[in-house]
Amino acid sequence: MHFKRPVFLLCLCLGLLTGQTAAARMLVIGTISDEPVKETRTFLPFARHLAAQLQDQGITGASVTIARDISEMSDLLRTGAVDIYIDSPLVSLAVRAECGSRLLARRWKKGIAQYQSVIFARQDSGIQALADLKGKVVAFEEPFSSSGYILPRLAIGEQIVPLAALPNLRAERPDSGTAYVFSGDDGNTLEWVLRGLVDAGAMSLRGLKMHAGGDFEDLSILLETNAIPRHVVSVSPDASAAFSQTLLAVLTGMDQSGPGRSVLQDFEGTTKFDSIPVSTQELLDQFQAPVAILISGD
């Protein structure tokens, strides 16, 4: 009879250890990109730093997963294969619409908290307002660019209908409405506008000033959009409140320590993370439905 208590205690300890092992897991951070090797190298040191700070949440290590598109990232978050998703806000909203992920924090990427897009034309084009773009062609960057397509496209769509896609610059322009093409790069967008290959272009205001240089004075700004975060952090729909709160505390505290600042700097010149302001969250919520419709192509 004397041996039963030690055996019971041994079994209890083994059970506790087994439970801890089952709860232990890797932290997986993801984003969307067509350059998986480059993005993995960029994200992995940051992921490992977060994992080291989240050990009390059962995290034992970190990995990075790069999705090809919105649907794949949505599936990864929905199934719990990705814990944290970092990307531009409007693409993140499209992902949220599909899987129910939650926006958690704002990332100051390259020291920038937020940005706004502009739609611009040459001053000598005779185009003074968005209404003048009817029958014209606008150059956007690429389909999943928040600053170079989604945000300005939504702004144009509120005032000009319809918007028709052209396959290339040589395609016949519409008799009415406004057409658009994708340039593939902000530099191309500006060059096409300056050379008269398209009538107007769209990109972030900061990007336009950077690319245009001395030519900026020759351009006319037709519209400035509302400012939105440069990047946001989302968590999977099943992330617990405890995990989300701890993660937010870790993220917003990184710029308060030397090691944290070093990791941030190596993470594409990130300055810090902070909570998304209430007014900004409300603005993003307003974009939810139109962004989902725009990206789905419906």
**What's the pLDDT at 17?**
44
Residues 106 and 126 placed together within one structural domain of the fold? no
Q: Do residues 263 and 254 lie in contact, with contact meaning Cβ atoms separated by under 8 Å?
A: yes
Residues 30 and 67 placed together within one structural domain of the fold? yes
Residues 156 and 221 placed together within one structural domain of the fold? yes
Burial label for 13, CB within 10 Å (0-12, 13-18, 19+), is exposed
Question: Is 125 inside a domain boundary?
Answer: yes
Residues 105 and 167 placed together within one structural domain of the fold? no
Q: Is 218 helix (H, G, I), strand (E, B) or coil?
A: helix
Task: Check which CATH number belongs to the domain holding 21 and give it.
Answer: 3.40.190.10
Residues 88 and 157 placed together within one structural domain of the fold? no
The last residue of one of the domains, among 225, 257, 283, is 225
Residues 271 and 133 placed together within one structural domain of the fold? no
Tally Cβ neighbours within 10 Å of residue 56. 8
* Domain enclosing residue 104, as ranges: 10-112+229-296
Q: Do residues 85 and 77 lie in contact, with contact meaning Cβ atoms separated by under 8 Å?
A: yes
**What's the pLDDT at 75?**
98
Residues 20 and 49 placed together within one structural domain of the fold? yes
Residues 33 and 95 placed together within one structural domain of the fold? yes
pTM summary value: 0.81
Residues facing residue 65 across a β-bridge: 30
Residues 147 and 216 placed together within one structural domain of the fold? yes
The last residue of one of the domains, among 225, 257, 282, is 225
**What's the pLDDT at 160?**
63
Distance between CA atoms of 88 and 71, rounded to whole angstroms?
16
Residues 158 and 19 placed together within one structural domain of the fold? no
The last residue of one of the domains, among 171, 206, 225, is 225
**What's the pLDDT at 9?**
43
Distance between CA atoms of 12 and 147, rounded to whole angstroms?
56
Residues 145 and 178 placed together within one structural domain of the fold? yes
Question: Is 274 inside a domain boundary?
Answer: yes
Q: What's the distance, CA 12 to chain centroid?
A: 46
Q: Do residues 123 and 66 lie in contact, with contact meaning Cβ atoms separated by under 8 Å?
A: no
Total domain count for the chain?
2
Question: Is 192 inside a domain boundary?
Answer: yes
Give the E-state strand segments of 52-96 in sequence order: 59-67, 84-87
Query: Going residue by residue through the chain (298 aa), what tens digit of pLDDT does each one get?
Result: 444 454 444 444 444 444 444 358 999 999 999 999 999 999 999 999 999 999 999 999 999 999 999 999 999 999 999 999 999 999 999 999 999 999 999 999 999 999 999 999 999 999 999 989 888 999 999 988 889 999 999 888 766 657 888 888 888 876 777 899 999 999 999 999 999 999 999 999 999 999 999 999 999 999 999 999 999 999 999 999 999 999 999 999 999 999 999 999 999 999 999 999 999 999 999 888 888 888 766 4
Question: Is 5 inside a domain boundary?
Answer: no
Question: Is 126 inside a domain boundary?
Answer: yes
Question: Is 220 inside a domain boundary?
Answer: yes
